[in-house]
Chain A
Amino acid sequence: MTDVGINAPELGRVSEISIETLAGPKKRARKEAAIRSFFFFAASVSVLISVLIVGSLMKETWTFVSEVDWSVTWGEIGWFPRQGLYDMPTLLVSSLIVTIVAMLVAGPLGLGSAIYLSEYASKRTRKFLKPILEVLAGVPSVVLGFFALVFISPQVIERIGRNGWLVIGALIIVVYLMLVLGWARQLVRREAGTELSTQVKRVMVLTLLVASALILIWWVNGVAGSSDPEAANFFTVKGSGQLAAAAVGVGILTIPLVASVSEDALASVPDELRQASAGLGARKMTTTVQVVLPAAVSGIVAAFIIGVSRAMGETMVVFLAGGAADQAEFTASPFDGGMTMTAAMASLATGTDSVVGEALTFQSLFFVGSVLFLITLALNIVASRFVNRVREKY
């Protein structure tokens, strides 16, 4: 041993501290243990509740599965639980239609707003826009259900159903206008050889807005006046809704979810990548499409999967605006009324008759619930896999 100039004292002389001094007060240890068990309890309650939910589903589902005549669950004319016809394709196809149409609305709009917020918006714009998006997320689904029933259904979907060509015409005009504007923009660019002045941009945006407004007015007044005087009243309850109307409502509800999860994914892409791309002479658009989106792809996929599972589980909107109550015939058209899995469960469990009907009517409700639960569970597991992949990468 090297002599470092410190002499170890004799054992007996080290008496200032003892093991009790370092053990700390007992009271503190008890407090720690109490706090620990409280948090453990809080965590276990949610686990316990999940187990109970699954358990309660399973019991009645088992009764249904073991006793039902399987021939009435496939290929019947529709979902008539009180008459003992439990045609699953009716519900599955309706759920599928709602989910697809909802994602057609929520996917592009949600991802689009995420890209705008994360890549293009200035700090000030983001500060202004994000809360608005969050307000949309906070709209109770029953309110959106009414909106779907009194506005989307008569004003949008029925018109598309009745005047498909007109809507397509309007879309073509909008696309055409945008192309012309884009072409004009390029001309201006080439002339100046530089970024567009804000003034030119403003004029273009204004033109686009005015054009869209004109088309909207023409569409609302002209069409309504000529073919259907009743629709002149802007908010009209007509009929009982269609799957597509409900689906658009569900889509609107899903936009904020898709937007916020995708925005998180985009924001987690390191800024260095954007800088590197810009430093190599890439334009903003190229950077976004070639670098940022691929880097965030697993998060965006996750956003879509979570969106799908949300859309599939949404109940109130489809219940109110889906266009069927208690029972539904099989349909594969989004312009018909139909019944999703969720709506079927909701409508069966409401009313005053406490679900009377065939012997298994009550149990069928649980069976549908289990199917829905398994589908969304699978989707959520897949989604969390994707989210984890984003986390690992950076």
Chain B
Amino acid sequence: MVEANPPIDEIAKGVRMSIDSSDMAPAAALDTPEQISADDLVFDVSDLSVYYGDFRAVRDVNMLIKRKEITALIGPSGCGKSTVLRSFNRMNDLIPTARVEGDLLYRGVDLYDPRVDPVEVRRRIGMVFQKPNPFPKSIYDNVAYGPRVAGKKKGLDDVVESSLKKAALWDEVKDRLQESAIGMSGGQQQRLSIARAIASDPEVLLMDEPCSALDPIATARIEELMAELKDEYTILIVTHNMQQAARVSDRTAFFSVQVDEANDRRTGLLVEYTNTEKLFSNPDDERTENYITGRFG
């Protein structure tokens, strides 16, 4: 994975890179966020706020995200969890009024440094969206899209095959790669979206409610897939489904909403961020407890 990625110095100089897979802790004995070693730290978020114009949509986000873990972002509607997720690969830049305050370091580099090219960021930090959104092209061309826009021309067949295999879709589509992706089922389309994201060879996958448009069987397949992908990728997932967060993630961040009585504006904030097991069994914050026990939200 890391060998396949070109050196990071293109967007940042002087970042240490070392892999120590022995450091991979079993899920039961996760480090607390504070104990993540610098080498395993993928994102370091401190005091992040996201604004739309004058309106502060989310505030006070502090998170450390570890390599090859699944981090879930949960919370009620309007708490800004998707907004936060989209700031991790600068997708918010597509909204003209959106703006970020605070620090968001990706392996030591400030993603919002003016020298950083968002396009370069998105090639390393892939995204899977809520609604399956295949391009009206063939299955092959869908998967090959990312590598192609990055200028890759040779070896596309291999990339397409390995990406589809990783997304557990290869066996279903290997005989109809040239057919349009529009005719696939919803679950297949979403796995295609994952294959498409993987094909760009990213280090991180951001998933914005990837199962919310799918039936339970397709959802189970995607969850299985995430567990497999964890061996290679760092995954952040936004989900409305608390059971899903509990099932798939190593760490969970709970976001909540604060309503400003004066102008009826709702600002999201990060309430609690800890190991998934702890968050769902013994949360520190009362608001978290109310939410996960169904008293709120």
Contacts and interface: CB of A to CB of B under 8 A. Distances in A.
B113 to A, nearest CB: 9
A283 B120 CA distance: 10
Contacts of B117: 193-195
B200 A194 contact: no
A272 B131 contact: yes
B14 interface: no
A381 B77 CA distance: 47
A interface secondary structure, majority: helix
B137 A279 contact: no
A133 interface: no
A283 B200 CA distance: 14
A290 B145 contact: yes
Contact of B145 (A195, A274, A277): A277
A282 B137 contact: no
Given A273-B135, A393-B136, A192 B119 contact: no
Interface in B104-126: 114-117, 119-120, 122-123, 126
A163 interface: no
A275 B116 contact: no
B253 interface: no
B89 A279 contact: yes
A291 B96 CA distance: 21
B191 to A, nearest CB: 14
A281 B136 contact: no
B115 A194 contact: yes
A280 interface: yes
Interface residues of A, number: 25
Contacts of A193: 115, 117
A389 B145 CA distance: 24
Given A275-B94, A290-B149, A280 B200 contact: yes
B150 interface: yes
Contacts of B122: 278-281
Given A275-B129, A290-B145, A393-B182, A282 B135 contact: no
Interface in A27-75: none
Contact of B133 (A192, A270, A281, A283): A270
B129 A279 contact: yes
A364 to B, nearest CB: 48
Contacts of A122: 96
Contact of A280 (B126, B131, B136): B126
B136 A276 contact: no
Contact of A281 (B116, B131, B135, B149): B149
B197 interface: yes
Interface string B173-196: 000000000100000000001001
A197 to B, nearest CB: 10
A333 interface: no
Interface of B: 89, 91, 94, 96, 114-117, 119-120, 122-123, 126-127, 129, 131, 133, 135-137, 145-146, 149-150, 182, 193, 196-197, 200
Q: Report, nearest first, the 7 A-B pairs whose CB atoms are least far apart.
A: A281-B123, A279-B127, A272-B133, A280-B146, A282-B149, A281-B122, A276-B133
14 contacts: A122-B96, A192-B115, A194-B114, A275-B91, A275-B94, A275-B129, A276-B133, A278-B122, A280-B145, A281-B123, A281-B200, A290-B149, A294-B135, A295-B136
